[in-house]
Amino acid sequence: MEATQPAFASPADSSAGFDRSIGETVKPRKPRLVHIRELDGIRGMAALMVFFHHLCFTSIRLSDWGPGIRMLYHLSSYGSSGVDLFFVLSGFLITSLLIQDRDSSAYYRNFYWKRVLRILPLYILCLVGVYLFVPDSHAYVLLAALFVVNFAQVFHVASTGPFWTLAIEEQFYLLWPTVVRRRSVPQLVRWSVGIGLSAVILRLAAASIGHHNYDLTFLHCDGLAIGAFVACRYSQRSGQSPPVAAIPTKWIAAAFVAGVVLFACIFLPYSSQREFAFMAAAYQTGISLLAGSVIAFVIVHTGARYLAIFRSRLFTFFGLISYAVYMIHTYVLMAYDHLRGPLSPGNLTAYTIRFVTVLGISVLLSLLTYYLIERPALSLRKYVLAPSHPSASFKKTEAANG
């Protein structure tokens, strides 16, 4: 995921016409990408949601605790949906950048170098740590190094970390840049809808045989497709005023309502594994729609006073270090539990110390990796990115697509 949060800028940046002051026809400018601060906050929220999910849900035995911790346990069970926020954000941000650069002669070179410098330094560091310190993780590390670790269950390999989400993203972005390059933006809208619907249909097909493992790319790429759809719609309307017309509010509202209804399916009673799988499929679709509708709403209403929480220092701070927090906190938690042993049942003091310690160490390590690894790696872009020139092959493709 890119370090900045782009969106297409004001109409003036993409207009073309006759400049009366000089009496010449002005060539259309490439839409400029601007920073949407609220997306930093959403990224920070997503990282904290996943953190709470692991600290307060997956690693806790519910029967050991009182009502306060039980409530936190149940709320944190939904923290895994932070991953879906990441997917929608990634789909929007990356597709926006791809659309901006799609006529460049260095399109592929620059895109993949950006991904390498953004993702790989911390990714490799974490892989080395897992290989050295997590027992019986060698097969997992191999799959993660090949970016196919989301298929670990297929190979009967135990999953021991967050690498599966990066695998889904990189598999998607292995093909998506070519689609963006070769198709017009209106065609990309249809492609995005088609990919999203295909994931939903495949989840339902998997549910018919009782399957509900959504680590597989073709069962969990709808969030990326929704983000891509938002990016396409926004780029289509970037030349219009006001820009909030990019995505009609009624579309966002309809997606949100549908998301709530599908999300609620998880609370329905079930009597078989197959019924639960259908509920899980509906729930996952609901989460994707909710994530997409929230992010779309924030994008088209950026700067509004009622969105101030997304611009708060707390959430934008965690947004800054979200990649490192996401990658590191699970292993900090594993190390803490290994050294301190399991939590004593009902010991609120031990619970609090565990939470504060794991959070504090995770933030400290994330800051160190951000300033010592991530930022220095991104600074290398000036040495590897090629100058951008209009591509003749792109012009031919654009003409063929109308």
**Mean pLDDT per 10-residue section of the chain, whose length is 402 residues:** 44 38 46 82 98 94 88 95 97 96 94 96 97 94 97 92 96 96 95 97 95 92 97 76 62 96 94 94 97 95 95 97 97 95 89 97 98 97 86 57 58
- Please give the pLDDT value at position 24: 45
- Please give the pLDDT value at position 400: 57
pLDDT tens-place string over residues 127-154: 999 999 999 999 999 999 999 999 999 9
Instruction: Write the single-letter amino acid at 399.
Output: A
Rounded-to-integer distance, Cα 198 and Cα 195, Å: 5
For 82-95, give the DSSP string: HHHHHHHHHHHHHH
pLDDT tens-place string over residues 173-232: 999 999 999 999 999 999 999 999 999 999 999 999 998 889 999 999 999 999 999 999
Alpha helices by DSSP H, listed for 134-161, are 138-145
Find the distance separating the first CA and the last CA of the chain, reported in whole Å: 31
Q: What share of the chain is helix, strand, coil (3-state, %, to 5)?
A: 70, 5, 25
Bridge partners of residue 50, in order along the sequence: none
- Please give the pLDDT value at position 157: 94
Rounded-to-integer distance, Cα 220 and Cα 291, Å: 13
Inter-residue contact 196 to 225 (CB < 8 Å): yes
CA 32 to chain centre: 22
pTM: 0.89
DSSP reduced 3-state for 358: helix
- Please give the pLDDT value at position 343: 87
- Please give the pLDDT value at position 213: 85
**Which whole-number Å values give the CA distances from 71 to 61, 240, 260, 266, 284, in the listed order?**
13, 47, 21, 18, 22
- Please give the pLDDT value at position 28: 47
Structure tokens at 127: 């892989």
- Please give the pLDDT value at position 245: 46
Rg of the chain over Cα atoms, rounded to whole angstroms, equals: 22
- Please give the pLDDT value at position 14: 37
Inter-residue contact 164 to 327 (CB < 8 Å): no
Inter-residue contact 172 to 221 (CB < 8 Å): yes
Rounded-to-integer distance, Cα 96 and Cα 235, Å: 7
Inter-residue contact 218 to 199 (CB < 8 Å): yes
What single-letter DSSP state applies at residue 305?
G
- Please give the pLDDT value at position 61: 86
**Which whole-number Å values give the CA distances from 104 to 4, 80, 322, 390, in the listed order?**
20, 37, 30, 5
